Amino acid sequence: MRTMTLRDFQQRGAASLPPGDPADPLLLSGRNGQFFLIPVTADVGLQYEALRQALAVMSIRETQLRAREAGLDRMSMEDIQAEIRAARAERRARKTAQ
């Protein structure tokens, strides 16, 4: 993976890109985080949808990992139903209190 600082990219632009395949994504690192610069190599709409789908899958996997770490993957159906009932009761209580 090609990488460079966001600052270098901002100051020198495309002329400062590291060597490598121009079709490869570039990881830009800065004080406020990291960002991918992804060249458009196919139909923009198709590539955008593929990127969104990949990010959605990654988000689901992260959520599953957090649930497993919290032990939520071992909840029984009865426990889940009890959580749902409690959340609905709380929502009803808030509505009647307004």
Q: What is the predicted pLDDT for the residue at 72?
A: 92
Cβ-based burial of 74 (10 A; exposed 0-12, middle 13-18, buried ≥19): exposed
Range of the domain at 34: 1-39
Indicate whether 96 and 79 sit together in one domain: yes
Same-domain pairing of 34 and 46: no
What does the pLDDT look like over 21-57, one tens digit per residue? Answer: 888 899 999 999 999 999 898 899 999 999 999 999 9
What are the helix (H) ranges across the chain?
A: 6-12, 44-69, 77-97
Query: Which pLDDT belongs to residue 97?
Result: 87
Averaged confidence pLDDT in the chain? 93
Whether 35 and 69 share a structural domain: no
Tokens encoding 4 = 């460079």
Are 63 and 34 in the same domain?
Answer: no
Are 19 and 57 in the same domain? no
Between residues 14 and 88, which one has the greater pLDDT? 88
pLDDT in the model for residue 21: 86
Residues 73 and 98 occupy one common structural domain: yes
